[in-house]
Structure 1
């Protein structure tokens, strides 16, 4: 196969050019060869690795977990219970995030149903946002703060 430029790899994998460079800088993706002019040149292995990383990120795996999974791939004769442990840890984080999102949903629903919609002066939403003690739940943790997992749309 003819070597591909970073732009063509980005199009083929759905991974942004800046993200590809980042993955190279942290060692998730091997440094590519270079043309005589210094342009990056990628092969099929880079495309497969980027597809793996992208899919793992879409499923909620954090970068350190992906690094561990990639390391496991290099030992085809190894046991997969380590991969299962990584997936179980990610699943636990997702379940925790879901529980927190449910709590946030309930709080926002309570705020909006109690809003009379008459005047800003008496707006329940603005009052609750201004005074945390008016919340039904004392503790709010932003669901995006759990780790570096990226969930599109949250």
Structure 2
């Protein structure tokens, strides 16, 4: 690929990320080390745009960068076998569903606090009608 490829800024623009993201992902090993131009510029193959988009999409789905790295490594090892992604996606879905359940409880508790007219946390904690779940209680 001598002389061809995308420079860092071109890659970042094409993938919709900033230059620091490209460099960070490279340091983390999420992106392969690029070739260098005779002038020392990083030159990335065009398919690196897709790889960056995959990483960002996985992050939006709730995967951490460590989990993304594992997914990418599993994909390279399996060559088309999606069982690694399937298992990890199922695990992530369970995690997301638990977070949604937790957020639903928080939402409902906040609604109850608003309905009860809670205006002061200390006064509310002493009230028997306060819906907020103060830890420990006053027994």
If the length of structure 1 is used for normalisation, what is the TM-score?
0.69
Structure 1: any 5+ residue segments left out of the alignment? 116-123, 140-154
Check if 1:137 corresponds to 2:139.
no
Structure 2: any 5+ residue segments left out of the alignment? none
Task: Write out per-residue CA displacement over residues 18-75 of structure 1, whole angstroms, 9 at most, x where no aligned residue.
Answer: 2221111111111222233332222212112111111111111222221121112213
The residue number in structure 1 matching 2:108 is 106
Distance 1:114 1:73, change over 3 A: same
The residue number in structure 2 matching 1:35 is 37
Deviating above 4 A after TM superposition, structure 1's stretches of 4 or more consecutive aligned residues are 130-135
The residue number in structure 2 matching 1:49 is 51
If the length of structure 2 is used for normalisation, what is the TM-score?
0.76
Distance in 1 (alpha carbons) for counterparts of 2:9 and 2:80: 35
Distance 1:110 1:69, change over 3 A: same
Mapping 1:1-154, distance limit 5 Å: 2-77=4-79, 79-115=81-117, 124-127=118-121, 136-138=132-134
3-state DSSP class of the match of 2:105?
helix
Task: Write out per-residue CA displacement over residues 71-116 of structure 1, whole angstroms, 9 at most, x where no aligned residue.
Answer: 122134564322211111111111111111111211222223333x
What is the CA RMSD across the aligned residues, in angstroms?
Answer: 2.9
- Which protein shows a greater Rg? 2
Q: Paired residues, what number?
A: 131
